[in-house]
Structure 1
Amino acid sequence: MTRWSHLALVPLLPQLLVATSVTDGETKPVQLHPRDDDEYSSPPFYPTPHGGWVSDWSDAYEKAYQVVSNMTLAEKVNLTTGTGFFMGPCVGQTGSAPRFGIPNLCLQDSPLGIRETDHITAFPPGLTVGATFNKELMYNRGVGIGEEARGKGVNVQLGPVVGPIGRKPRGGRNWEGFGADPTLQAIGGAETIKGMQSTGAIASLKHFIGYEQEMYRMSSIITKGYSSNIDDRTLHELYLWPFAEGVRAGVGSIMTAYNDVNSSACSQNSKLLNDILKDELGFQGFVMTDWLGHYSGVGSALAGLDMAMPGDGSVPLFGDSYWAYDLSRSILNGSVPLDRLNDMVTRIVATWYKFGQDADYPLPNFSSNTDAATGELYPGALFSPTGVVNQFINVEGDHNITARAVAREAITLLKNEDSILPLSSNDSLKVFGTDAGPNTGGLNSCTDQGCDNGVLTMGWGSGSASLPYLITPQEAIANVSQNCTFYITDSFPSSVTASADDIAIVFINADSGENSITVDGNPGDRLVAGLNAWHNGDDLVKAAAEKFSNVVVVIHTVGQIVMEEWIELDSVKAVLVAHLPGQEAGDSLVDILFGDYSPSGHMPYTIPKSESDYPDSVSIIDQPFGQIQDTFTEGLYIDYRHFLQANITPRYPFGHGLSYTTFNFSSPSMSVVTAIDSTYPPARPSQGATPKYNDSIPNPSEVAWSSTSFTRIWRYLYPYLDDPQSITASNTYPYPDGYNTTQKPGVRAGGGQGGNPALYDIAFSIDVTVTNTGSRKGKAVAQLYVELPSSLGLDTPSRQLRQFEKTEELAAGQSQTLTLEITRKDLSVWDVVVQDWMAPVDGEGVNIWIGQSVADLPVLCSVGTGCSVS
């Protein structure tokens, strides 16, 4: 079977549009102004900061230095460039350096499990994980994914996802991330990274940055990907926030997005990669492209890119590359300084050492190209050697337990009139909808889950994985219920009769995915479907509501759906959003439906009453000709921030989620941990030393084909040249504006992984007691929102989620005291002129709200006046 990966054949204030340049060590503001009415520019920042100055990475960098200082040019180039599409077992692999024990590094999807292989766990995707608001489950799921990656021999597992953040409700890949809030994304991403990397697998945090739409995302020889035009403050306070936390968690790799940001492609945007990511955030790992998101050779290297995937140039399977042999050429002619290549390779090798992959880490034992035991080793070649490609290693372990717990704790109860839920096993049930049943074509019959057939377990595309098994809701309900009839159809049967005691359970869904596949006319983004239920789901609910006096609606969805046609009908008594449950769809739902557990999920996004409730700027842009200029004019005001600012009442607010029991918040108290005694953080720590190499242009013989003794594989990407001795150095290369090779002292907002370490000092600690005041056991979530004072002089959202904690399962009458800690950064805004984080001294004027949703916040702690409960 052939498989493709990652491939698709508030008006802005002038002061917000400021970035910086550094000249002779002096920081000066530079306008990120429009070149035309709708075109933004991204200022240059060169050279790439060297890695290795963070103490946590010093041992790994020392080991890497000992290796890289002895590498040939060919070995260095080999590790930076993928070997090409279908040129190995994984969706991508680098070349190797066997003299030093470094194999081809295997890179594999996806953020919810090991894609395109067998005997793995298909975990619930990120959006479902976010809905749990449970940090322990976020971490445990990360451990499970990491263990399975290691077991399959995957060096770099491509996840988690924190971009897109869900700016566009119709966005195709919103379900891969953790929710429409930077803090929810940040915590979900960081906990996942820590879990994954505890196993030795390297996480790849993606997609950096501004990747909020599927359509027109990629540049090619005939098209130009859209430009996400983002002002400096919005970039820092929304879209960069979860990436900063991922870097702080020690992520080993970051994947760039396909699109441009401010008219410069993410994979070659020196402002983003050199300045913000590697300097300000202190990222020590390596930056890689998305598949075919590599658009230039010299330019991308100078801008801070470290690894090209899958290695091919603009057209795959031609044996062409922007790097590989051309990178060797660029080193020999001096257009790319050897200093840059040395840093690229050192970052890759140091990351390999950092996570212990030099010590008995498995080689790949699977093939993403075929399900057969034997096959071509390099299917992209016209003639390929063959061998054993799949060993069918089972890496599932007991990860189904975590997968079921995540799916269960994510289920969000939106409505439960007359306490119709939970159900009893002897209730008379009638179940409707194909979403309750199996895929009629068979399990995994649609490539990369590219169809909406049967229960929706995940979206489609490279963020998916094959289901090892699936117990559908139909099967799970039948295993529990003593009196249930199933109508696995999306057209309400006219012959159905209803008695007063009958309860109808109606299953509906809404799907989306990657732009590489179109499903029911939707090219990734929900272009045709909009925010409506698929397969006439609204009509199915209304028909059931007309016939039955008790209706329960179960929704599997990638994001927001509009419910206004039926949500207030008298007979629609309960609504459960089960999000995307992965392989444990049926059992996790039955756990909640029949009351073995109380629902404890909370909405990771706002549910509107109408799509028109959103600003026009967050609509999908369908413009087939010319580069799309997607200007983020709404600024900070996405999702609940927008609804609060515009004073629009949603159908269900961000964070909303009911339980079968009730909870009370009491006895709040707040203490100062680290005083905020200045507007800006203290000066960044001094930067540690970085590796020093001989940066003379190497001997051309190091990349000469004549020096090799192996048989070439056609289309495989090698670092070698036929006549490297003929290449001479030149000083006439047309370098980009602002290019230089002198290392800078470091921007003021940096100083550690994630930025200045002082930003992460705990400023305040708040204790609150949560009591189960109902009659059933259950878990509660305490969500903490910050309201910043007007004294900061900037327009700021009235509520911003900054922390959350979930209780253990509390019995009726039981209490638990939760501690929620917020940092200096949590109380800061980005000063676009000073280029640093600005906070109110002593937290003066800050209000801290705690409750169960953004619209239900009974606890108020005001700095200086104490806490109260309304």
Structure 2
Amino acid sequence: MAPWAHLALASVFTPLLLASPVPDESESTHSHKRAAEGYDSPPYYPTPPGGWVPDWSEAYSKAHDLVSNMTLAEKVNLTTGTGFFMGPCVGQTGSVPRLGIPNLCLQDSPLGIRNSDHNTAFPPGITVGATFNKDLMYERGVALGEEARGKGVNVLLGPSVGALGRKPRGGRNWEGFGADPTLQALGGAQTVKGMQSTGAIAAIKHYIGNEQEMHRMSSIVTKGYSSNIDDRTLHELYLWPFAEGVRAGVGSLMTAYSDVNSSSCSQSSKLLNGILKDELGFQGFVMTDWLGHYSGVASAIAGLDMSMPGDGAVPLFGDSYWGSELSRSVLNGSVPVDRLNDMVQRIVATWYKYGQDKDYPLPNFSTNTQDKEGPLYPGALFSPSGVVNQFVDVTSNHNITARAVAREAITLLKNDMDILPLHSDDSLKVFGTDAGRNPDGLNSCADQGCNKGVLTMGWGSGTARLPYLITPQEAISSIAKNAEFHITDKFPSGVTVSPDDIALVFISADSGENFITVEGNPGDRTKAGLNAWHDGDELVKAAAEKFSNVVVIVHTVGPILMEEWIELKSVKAVVVAHLPGQEAGNSLTDVIFGDYSPSGHMPYTIPRSEDDYPDSVDLISQPFGQIQDTYTEGLYIDYRHFIKANLTPRYAFGHGLSYTTFNFSQPSLSTKTPLDSAYPAARPTKLPTPSYNTSIPDASEVAWSSAKFTRIWRYLYPYLDKPESITATKKYAYPEGYSTEPHEVPRAGGGEGGNPALFETVFSVQLEVRNTGKRTGKAVAQLYVELPSSLGLDTPALQLRQFEKTKELAPGQSETVTLHLTRKDVSVWDVVVQDWKAPVNGEGIKIWVGNSVADLPVLCVVGGKCSVQ
């Protein structure tokens, strides 16, 4: 690891940090250990400029015209946030009013507009992943984009595809789509496409290795953990969904707080310049997570484009690593002018690419207050006031989409004696606070930082206020004629039990972001582990002692242990409703009363014991010194691990029952683009990028004396006092390996997401899916690839690579499903050649299709035949 990860040249130190800089990796006095041997982050300079991808050429041409006419102050203004609480949104850039560019509003969250009003609280990513429905993924993305646009949000901070779910107790796994790179990739890409079809810009996050909440952040006294990931694991697991997001045209990307291989994600030249912007051909802009900016010059030359919310190490001190310090760094020559120009043109090109120059609304809400009027800059000691909330209703008919997503995600794990669906005249006894309302009131917990009432989402910045909530209690009571409710987590004494009674027991498990601790859990599930909260296991067992028929309904952020009660004779059914959002009750009753058959499938594995996981995926709590979190399990997380370890989980990845049955038949395999070589065809020639005048601008462009407005204290500006005194004669100690000579283009690159040849369809599997049961329902065909040992690499036995969900099929009805595989889908990452390698002619590849990773009746052998087991 080169000693540059936290370089902060004197030209960009804020006064606060001169005394206590974030330590450089080369210092012998800092307390954390270096990354594990073999986990390096080599330097990669300079930043490849954007503008060489044909689909972006028009946007970059427009951006070039604008950026060429900007002053230094105007350029810096777009790269730096205005500061914490310095505007209506969770973050906003400065503006360029002279050229028609407003402050750009950046706002959470991946499931709706955070801290807003008249918005939809959609089901989060983990619920979307459980639908295995690409159309719904896209439809939800469109609705998110429409609401962002309606509120005047330029950049909606989602989707989240990192954390991938490596750590089962990780706090924010629920924001992503599941513990598989393909499920995450397709969920993320469909969301990006949907969001950006409306003109809103998506921000895919958190890049990369953000798999634990505790100890993630660096500060002037602490150092965020280092995720030590080998090259192949990075490419085949954690980078995979980001690559698909880039391929989908995502406009922005947010870096993680933590390190990868002891290089901070927001200033790792290998991750940003090398992999993201060169190999993956990312054309948008890179932003920090909030207060995840750790240096000035080092981050700029490593490929960072935007600092959010703009503050330095401590918010509301009025200083920044960029802002006026970036102006200084350009004037003194430590940040090259062409790097600044590329930062700005990436931001402006994305603004043009998604049509935000044409009547895009300005923010009409405030993330800081629910009042109509208030301070315009709450972070300032003295702020002008005005109307900050216009209460614009952006919900349209999005409740329909929200309900459909929550409904199609509902996963039936067990249904003995076909106890489900219920009937409206069944005698029901309902137990558990998870069936009811939060007794303190709707949205009474900031950022949903509690687990009271039905669990609709986890907690933290990835949430939204619920505009309303249909609880299971309300929905059940509107249907069932004989329902009795006990909204308590302690089994009540004196409950009368009849032989025909059915007990519905609601339990939950929560998690969230590290800035809130809930019931002793600091984001990650440290105290709760993988058990249900509020003694949920005891509630189920108590009900099972009294009732002959028990249905367990689970709202959860991730896997929970069920061993204490899953095999009890009276526990007839288990329903995982994931995190349903505002339509919690309606979506559930849609399924349990039989209006729809369940069609969700598990987006992660449910184990029999937490000991079944490899030790390396445990949470790490180490308050002093940098945590070295080494990914020694490599490619073997979730179901990949269980298969390799020959462990039978309680419920396999992809498992999900229906009220009907389906049959897969008549499979056929066709070859599209032949795999006539191990490596893809040579990448296309890289097109020229826009060029600019690289002369250092006149210092007067950032002189305070030229500013013609009232200065707001703590607001971050690009201006300097006496900038004319700054010269560019000093030589600066750049990071080891720094160069202004471009790298040879990576052979795996060539387009957005990588070499376009990687995404050519090489095989297609076609099969008939028939409803062989007595009820209408939807089936999911999951395709897994088994790669041959001839590749010479240790590779997981099965890897999800594609899925398709059928339409509603009536009894006896069938649908022909086609699943396409790309070259990349059947490749491994060659760490020596630095390219994707596939078996020539597909020799030895086996393709499995079925209902889950543990139920794959269809087998197609490349070069051979297809069969049904």
- TM over 0.5, shorter chain: yes
Using the alignment, how far apart are the partners of 1:715 and 1:826 within structure 2? Answer: 50
Partner letter of residue 866 of structure 1?
A: K
**C-alpha distance in 2, partners of 1:482/1:37?**
62
Alignment match, 2:214: 215
Matches within 5 A, 1:247-258: 247-258=246-257
| Structure 2 match to 1:851 | 850
Measured after TM superposition, the shift of residue 409 of structure 1 is 0.1
CA contact (8 A) 2:426 2:502 kept: yes
Taking the aligned partners of 1:813 and 1:409, their CA distance within structure 2 comes to 21
Q: Does 1:302 align with 2:301?
A: yes
> Does the CA-based 8 Å contact 1:35-1:41 persist in structure 2?
no
- 2:782 matched to 1:783? yes
Hey, what's the Cα distance between the residues in 1 that align with 2:367 and 2:733? 41
Give, in angstroms, the shift of residue 494 of structure 1: 1.2
Contact 1:92 1:310 in 2 (8 A): yes
The reply to whether residue 108 of structure 1 matches residue 138 of structure 2 is: no
The Cα of 1:408 is off from its aligned counterpart by 0.1
Unpaired segments ≥5 residues, structure 1: 1-33
Is structure 2 residue 840 aligned with structure 1 residue 860?
Answer: no
Identity among equivalent pairs (%): 78
**Equivalent position amino acid for 1:155 in 2:** N
Instruction: Give, in angstroms, the shift of residue 36 of structure 1.
Output: 6.4
For 2:177, the aligned partner's letter is F
Report if the CA contact (8 A) 2:35-2:262 is conserved: no
2:425 matched residue in structure 1: 426
Aligned residue number for residue 390 of structure 2: 391
Deviations 1:572-624 (A, max 9, x none): 00000000000000000000010000000000000000000000000000100
Deviation at 1:709, TM superposition (A): 1.5
Pairwise mapping of residues 68-467 of structure 1 onto structure 2 (< 5 A)? 68-467=67-466
- Structure 1 residue aligned with 2:670: 671
Q: Distance in 2 between matches of 1:331 and 1:60?
A: 25
Aligned to 1:548: 547
Q: Distance in 2 between matches of 1:114 and 1:677?
A: 48
| CA distance in structure 2 between the aligned counterparts of 1:381 and 1:35, rounded to whole angstroms | 40
Deviation at 1:743, TM superposition (A): 2.3
Q: How does 1:590-739 map to 2 (within 5 A)?
A: 590-739=589-738
Change (3 A) 1:320 1:36: closer
1:269 & 1:36 partners in 2: Cα distance?
Answer: 14
The answer for the alignment partner of 2:835 in structure 1 is 836
The 8 Å contact of residues 39 and 263 in structure 1, kept in 2 or not, is answered as no
**SS of 1:461 mapped into structure 2:** coil
Partner of 1:40: 39
What TM-score does the superposition give when structure 1 sets the normalisation length?
0.96
Contact 1:39 1:229 in 2 (8 A): no
User: 1:691 and 1:746 mapped to 2: Cα distance?
Assistant: 18
CA distance in 1, matches of 2:571, 2:158: 38
Q: Which residue of 2 aligns with 1:28?
A: none
Cα distance in 2 for partners of 1:759, 1:498 equals 61
Q: Which amino acid aligns with 1:238?
A: L
1:155-208 deviation line (CA, Å, top 9, x unaligned): 000000000000000000000000000000000000000000000000000000
Q: Residue 36 and residue 144 in structure 1: after superposition, are their counterparts in 2 closer, same or farther (change >3 A)?
A: closer
Secondary structure in 1 matching 2:135: helix
Instruction: Tell me the equivalent position of 1:67.
Output: 66
- The CA deviation at 1:689 is 1.2
Q: Distance in 1 between matches of 2:353 and 2:829?
A: 32
Asked if the contact 1:89–1:364 (Cα under 8 Å) also holds between the matched residues in 2, the reply is: yes
> Which residue identity is paired with 1:609?
R
CA–CA distance in structure 1, aligned partners of residues 439 and 345 of structure 2: 50
Matched letter for residue 209 of structure 2 = G
1:652-704, Cα deviation, whole Å (9 max, x unpaired): 00000000000000000010110011011111000011010000000000000
| C-alpha displacement of 1:40 | 3.4
| Residues in 2 aligned to 1:601 and 1:181: alpha-carbon distance in whole angstroms | 16
Tell me: CA distance 1:37–1:192, structure 2 relative to 1, closer, same or farther (3 Å). closer
Superposed CA deviations along residues 510-553 of structure 1, whole A, max 9, x for unmatched, are: 00000010000000000000000000000000000000000000
The secondary structure found in structure 1 opposite 2:478 is: helix
SS at match of 1:168: coil
Return the letter of the residue paired with 1:554.
Answer: I
Is the 1:38–1:631 Cα contact (8 Å) retained in structure 2?
Answer: no
Q: CA offsets, 1:42-85, max 9 Å, x none?
A: 10000000000000000000000000001000000000000000
CA distance in structure 2 between the partners assigned to 1:158 and 1:533 by the alignment = 30
Structure 2 letter corresponding to 1:757: P
| Offset, 1:712 | 0.4
Cα distance in 1 for residues equivalent to 2:402 and 2:248: 23
Q: Does 1:795 align with 2:794?
A: yes
Question: C-alpha separation between the residues in 2 aligned to 1:157 and 1:769?
Answer: 39
Whether the 8 Å contact between 1:450 and 1:517 is mirrored in structure 2 is yes
- 2:325 is matched by which residue type in structure 1? D
Q: For residues 410 and 399 of structure 2, what CA distance do their matches in structure 1 show?
A: 17
Question: Matches of 1:271 and 1:602 in 2, distance apart?
Answer: 37
Instruction: Indicate yes or no: 2:500 matched with 1:507.
Output: no
AA at the equivalent of 1:400? N
**Runs of 4 or more consecutive aligned structure 1 residues displaced over 3 Å after TM superposition:** 34-40
**Residues 153 and 361 in structure 1, CA contact (< 8 A), matched pair in contact too:** yes
Code of the residue aligned with 1:496 in structure 2: it is: V
CA separation of 1:588 and 1:689: change in aligned 2, threshold 3 A: same
| Distance in 2 of aligned mates of 1:58 and 1:39 | 39
Q: Distance in 1 between matches of 2:687 and 2:580?
A: 45
Cα distance between partner residues in 2 of 1:183 and 1:471? 32
1:650 maps to amino acid: P
Task: Give the C-alpha shift of residue 381 in structure 1.
Answer: 0.4
Letter in 1 for 2:413: L
Partner Cα distance (2:142, 2:504) in 1: 35
- How many angstroms does 1:745 deviate by? 3.7
Which deviates more from structure 2 when the two are superposed, residues 843-852 or residues 724-733?
Answer: 724-733
Amino acid at match of 2:298: G
Shift of 1:708: 1.1
- Provide the aligned length of Structure 1 versus Structure 2: 837
CA distance in 1, matches of 2:366, 2:48: 37
CA RMSD of aligned residues (A): 0.7
Aligned to 1:578: 577
Could you tell me which amino acid in structure 1 is paired with residue 431 of structure 2? F
> Match for 1:293: what amino acid?
G
Contact 2:35 2:228 in 1 (8 A): no
Structure 1 contact 382–714 (Cα < 8 Å) conserved:
yes
| Deviation for aligned residue 1:741 | 1.0
Bigger shift: 177-186 or 702-711? 702-711
Q: 2 CA distance for matches of 1:730 and 1:224?
A: 34
Asked if the contact 2:156–2:202 (Cα under 8 Å) also holds between the matched residues in 1, the reply is yes
Q: Does structure 1 conserve the Cα–Cα contact (< 8 Å) formed by 2:39 and 2:230? A: no
Secondary structure of 1:786 counterpart: strand
State the SS of the aligned residue for 1:462: coil
| Aligned-partner Cα distance in 1 for 2:546–2:118 | 44
For the residues of structure 2 that align with 1:747 and 1:661, how far apart are their CA atoms?
50
Q: Distance in 2 between matches of 1:591 and 1:59?
A: 47
User: How many Å apart are 1:731 and its aligned residue?
Assistant: 4.2
Whole-Å Cα distance in 1 between the matches of residues 283 and 518 of structure 2? 39
Counterparts of 1:855 and 1:244 in 2: how far apart (Å)?
A: 28
Asked if the contact 1:182/1:238 (under 8 Å) is kept, the reply is yes
What CA distance in whole angstroms lies between the structure 2 residues aligned with 1:733 and 1:499?
82
* Aligned-partner residue type, residue 218 of structure 1: M
Note the C-alpha offset of 1:38: 5.8
**Are 1:183 and 1:803, in contact at CA under 8 Å, matched by a contact in 2?**
yes
5+ unaligned residues in a row in structure 2: which ranges?
Answer: 1-32
Which one-letter code corresponds to 2:468 in the other structure?
Y
Mapped partners of 2:264, 2:197: distance in 1: 32
